[in-house]
Amino acid sequence: PSKADMHDEL
């Protein structure tokens, strides 16, 4: 169950 990627972090 994965959603958004870690790339949405800064």
For other proteins, the binding residues (CB under 8 A) are 1-4, 6-10
Give the integer Cα–Cα distance in Å for 1 and 4: 10
Instruction: Give, as one character, the DSSP assignment of residue 4.
Output: S
Task: Write down the least CB distance from residue 9 to other proteins, Å.
Answer: 7
Can you read off the two tokens belonging to residue 1? 């169950």
Q: Minimum CB separation from other proteins for residue 8, in Å?
A: 5
Give the Cα separation of 10 and 1 in Å (integer): 23
Q: How far is the CB of 4 from other proteins (least distance, A)?
A: 8
